[in-house]
Chain A
Amino acid sequence: AQTVTQSQPEMSVQEAETVTLSCTYDTSESNYYLFWYKQPPSRQMILVIRQEAYKQQNATENRFSVNFQKAAKSFSLEISDSQLGDTAMYFCAHGDSGAGSYQLTFGKGTKLSVIP
């Protein structure tokens, strides 16, 4: 079974600074997808960024970028120019095509606080 580990339960960052959230995963598959989801206090799960394992280029979405190290099975999220609205839980997820179900396995999350 796939596992996803987020080793930082909580983090804080000053507004306008850059922060990196860590994620490692375990899989026996060669082709898979990785995601970061944001969950603000409203509880809504919001897709932040996706990475396809067969692509070597790191994904970027505006202020969000990833550092994907396939051999190390590491998938960290970097948030630049942090804003108060970035305060949320962040979940790393691994996409598994097992039995054609396209399931996601989630980490336990990192609570990010942006400090004014």
Chain B
Amino acid sequence: NAGVTQTPKFRILKIGQSMTLQCTQDMNHNYMYWYRQDPGMGLKLIYYSVGAGITDKGEVPNGYNVSRSTTEDFPLRLELAAPSQTSVYFCASGGGDRGRRAYEQYFGPGTRLTVT
């Protein structure tokens, strides 16, 4: 049981390039989330998904896109990378079921992205 895995761990992009951050979970969780963490700040929600085929915007969605074709995978796409997207990106998954563990989220190791 690997939990939540993210690739790559590090990436440097030039301004205007595009890339996809991969996220996979093997816990059969319905809910998945993408966060960004800027220096000295907490995590901010970019996008989330409540199940395969369903996605919705979080607090800071501009410049990003997501898709959820399977329960396991939730890739994050950056189009036309900008320096403001330099950050650490975390993917998380959660059961989202009614009950005490509904809000618990399990995080991947993060991707450090630098846009120059």
Contacts and interface: CB of A to CB of B under 8 A. Distances in A.
Interface of A: 4, 9, 32-33, 35, 42-45, 47, 50, 52, 91, 95, 97, 99-104, 106-109
Nearest to B40: A108
- Size category, B interface: 20 to 34
Contacts of B42: 4, 91, 106-109
Contacts of B96: 100-102
Q: What does DSSP make chain B's interface, helix, strand, loop or mixed? A: strand
Contact of B100 (A42, A45, A52, A99): A52
Contacts of A95: 102-103
B32 to A, nearest CB: 11
Contacts of B58: 103
B107 A103 contact: no
B104 interface: yes
B96 to A, nearest CB: 5
